[in-house]
Structure 1
Amino acid sequence: MTSSTPALDTRHAPGPLPQAVLLDMDGTLVDTEDFWWDAEVEVFGALGHVLSDEHRAVVVGGPMTRSAGYLIEVTGADIGLDALSDLLNEAFLRRLDRGVPLMPGARRLLTELAAHGVPTALVSASHRAVIDRILRSLGPEFFACTVAGDDIRRTKPHPDPYLTAALRLGAEPARCVAVEDTATGVASAEAAGCPVLVVPSVAAVPAAPGRTVVGSLEEVDLALLRSLLLAPPARPGPEPRVTPVPERRP
C-alpha cells in the first residue's frame, strides 16, 4: 500500500467510526470503465471516427458532458452534445444488460460497512438511468442515498456531489471517507473536505496529504477507513457550500 500518512496497524486502528463512507461507482465498485470506453469507441466508429488510446485517460472518470464534448472536439464529429450523450448512454446500457462485474473486494466491503451500521452513499458522475441499472447488481439495500451526475447542477470535479451526499446523510464531510478511482473524482472529494481513499483503475493517482492510495478494495476494511480520519485534511480552507437538492431514492 502506498500512503502519504504514517503506516498504522489497521487491524486495531483507534478513533471513531466514519460518519459515512461515500463511494464512487464506475471503476471503484464495478468494473465498468472498459464498458464506457468500448461504448465511446463503438459510437464514434459508427460516426466514422477512430478513437486512440491517448484520449482514454482524458475522459475516464469525468461527467458525460465533459467527456462527450472533448471527444467531439478532438474528432470533429458532426453531432451535437445531447445527441451524442444519448448514443453513449444507450451503448453503455446495452453492455450493462450482459452483466456488471464487481471490483474485487467490493461486496465484502459493503457487507462489512452494513454490519457495523456505517451509512454509505453512492456518488457518481454517471446519469441516473445508469446508476439505477447498476444498483441491481450492487444491491440498493447497501446505500442510504445515491447521487447521480444529472441529479445536481455541477458534478465532479466540483465538490457538489460529495457535499450533497454528506448533507443528505446528516454527516460532516471531514468525518466521512470518500473512495475514488480517478483524479477527477479525487478532486471532487478533496474539494468537499473529505479524507480520500484512492483505488486507481485506468489511470494512476499519486498519494498526497490527506489522500491514501491502495491497489485494490481487497486491501480495504473498516479499520483502515477509521485510520484515515486521523490524517490531516487534504485542503485546509473555507468550507465549500452547496445548494441542497431533493434526494432520489434508489
Structure 2
Amino acid sequence: MTPNDASCDLPLGFPRAVLWDMDGTIIDSEPYWIAAETPLVERFGGTWTHEDALQLVGNSLETSGAILQSAGVQMDIPDIVEYLTDEVLRQMAESGLPFRPGAQELLRSLRAAGVKTAIVTMSRRRMAQRVADLFTFDAFDAVLGGDDVARPKPFPDPYLAGAAALGVDIRDCVAIEDSPTGLRSAIDSGAVTLGVPHFVSLDGVGADALWPSLADTNASDIAALFTRVRQAEDVIR
C-alpha cells in the first residue's frame, strides 16, 4: 500500500491533508521574484526598493501587477503576470530550485505517514507544476495555482479548493504559510494554520502556531499541532 492510497489508514491524530503555500514556504523563490520586478520597473523609469517588493509577498499576481503599474510599469496586468512568471521560471532553470529548510524532509515524512498533500499557491499553475515535477519523489496529490480560483488569497477560496481537490474536509487539513495574506486565507478557510515566517513577520495575524523553521520537523510534529488545536476547540465548545 502506497502513501497515496486512499485506503491507507492514518496514524491516530494525524490530519488527512497538509496544504502548502509554495513561494517562500516550499521554495525560496522570493529573491527570484524581486530580481524579475526590479528591472521591469526600471525599464519604465521607476525605482523599486526591497521594501516595495515586500508589498507583493503573498499577494495574487494580479494584485502585484496593479502595484507594479502604480510604480510606472506601462503594461497590461496579464502581460505583467506572464512576464514575471517567465522570468522566475528562467531563473529557476538557470540557478536551480532553492528549497526552504526542512520542506523536502517534512514532505517525505508526511507522505510516508499517508497524509495527502497539495500545493496551494498564487503563482501560476504552470509554475507550481514545474516545481512539483522537480521533486525526486511523489510529493503532491494536487497542484493549484492562482489561475485555478476566482478569488485569490486572502479569500479562503484557494484553501477550500485545495481541500476539495484532495477530497477532504478543510477542517481535517493543516495549512502552512509564510505570508500574512496567505495565513488570512488559510485561517478563514477553517484549516489548522501553521506560519513559518520568511521575509515578513507573521506576528499577530492569528496562526494556530508559528514555527521559526521547518528544519528538524516531521509528520508527528504536524499531528501534535493538529491534535492540540482541534482538542482545544472541543473544550471551548
Q: Provide TM-score, normalisation by structure 2.
A: 0.86
Are the equivalent residues in 2 in contact too, given 1:96–1:134 (CA < 8 A)? no
Q: Quick one: distance in 1 between partners of 2:231 and 2:154?
A: 18
Task: Note closer, same or farther for the CA distance 1:199–1:166 as it changes in structure 2 (3 Å cut).
Answer: same
Are the equivalent residues in 2 in contact too, given 1:123–1:148 (CA < 8 A)? yes
Q: Quick one: distance in 1 between partners of 2:129 and 2:106?
A: 20
Tell whether 2:132 aligns with 1:135.
yes
Alignment of 1:210-225 (within 5 A): 211-225=208-222
Tell whether 2:92 aligns with 1:96.
yes
Are the equivalent residues in 2 in contact too, given 1:15–1:227 (CA < 8 A)? no
Q: Kindly provide the CA deviation profile for residues 131-152 of structure 1, in whole angstroms up to 9, marking residues without a partner as x.
A: 1221232357211111110012
Alignment of 1:20-169 (within 5 A): 20-73=17-70, 75-98=71-94, 99-139=96-136, 141-169=138-166
Per the TM alignment, residue 91 of structure 1 is displaced from its structure 2 partner at its CA by 1.4
Deviates more, 1:28-37 or 1:203-212: 203-212
Task: Note closer, same or farther for the CA distance 1:160–1:139 as it changes in structure 2 (3 Å cut).
Answer: farther
Task: Read off the aligned partner of 2:36 and give its amino acid letter.
Answer: A
Q: Quick one: distance in 1 between partners of 2:76 and 2:125?
A: 21
Per the TM alignment, residue 40 of structure 1 is displaced from its structure 2 partner at its CA by 0.6
Task: Read off the aligned partner of 1:106 and give its amino acid letter.
Answer: A
Are the equivalent residues in 1 in contact too, given 2:180–2:205 (CA < 8 A)? no
Per the TM alignment, residue 52 of structure 1 is displaced from its structure 2 partner at its CA by 1.6
Task: Read off the aligned partner of 1:61 and give its amino acid letter.
Answer: G
Q: How many residues are treated as equivalent by the alignment?
A: 221
Are the equivalent residues in 1 in contact too, given 2:41–2:72 (CA < 8 A)? no
For structure 2, list consecutive stretches of 5 or more residues without a partner in the other structure.
Answer: 1-10
Are the equivalent residues in 1 in contact too, given 2:44–2:72 (CA < 8 A)? no
Q: Quick one: distance in 2 between partners of 1:169 and 1:20?
A: 8
Are the equivalent residues in 2 in contact too, given 1:112–1:222 (CA < 8 A)? yes
Deviates more, 1:60-69 or 1:214-223: 214-223
Moved over 3 A (4+): 207-210, 232-235
Q: Quick one: distance in 1 between partners of 2:206 and 2:35?
A: 34
Per the TM alignment, residue 29 of structure 1 is displaced from its structure 2 partner at its CA by 0.7
Q: Quick one: distance in 1 between partners of 2:144 and 2:194?
A: 19
Task: Note closer, same or farther for the CA distance 1:68–1:233 as it changes in structure 2 (3 Å cut).
Answer: farther
Are the equivalent residues in 2 in contact too, given 1:195–1:233 (CA < 8 A)? no
Per the TM alignment, residue 233 of structure 1 is displaced from its structure 2 partner at its CA by 9.6
Q: Find the residue that maps to 1:141 and give its secondary structure.
A: coil
Q: Percent identity?
A: 33
Per the TM alignment, residue 156 of structure 1 is displaced from its structure 2 partner at its CA by 1.1
Q: Quick one: distance in 2 between partners of 1:137 and 1:25?
A: 13
Per the TM alignment, residue 15 of structure 1 is displaced from its structure 2 partner at its CA by 5.5
Task: Note closer, same or farther for the CA distance 1:49–1:138 as it changes in structure 2 (3 Å cut).
Answer: farther
Q: Provide TM-score, normalisation by structure 1.
A: 0.82
Per the TM alignment, residue 110 of structure 1 is displaced from its structure 2 partner at its CA by 0.9
For structure 1, list consecutive stretches of 5 or more residues without a partner in the other structure.
Answer: 1-13, 236-250
The equivalent residue for 2:229 is 231
Q: Quick one: distance in 2 between partners of 1:45 and 1:173?
A: 42
Task: Read off the aligned partner of 1:138 and give its amino acid letter.
Answer: F
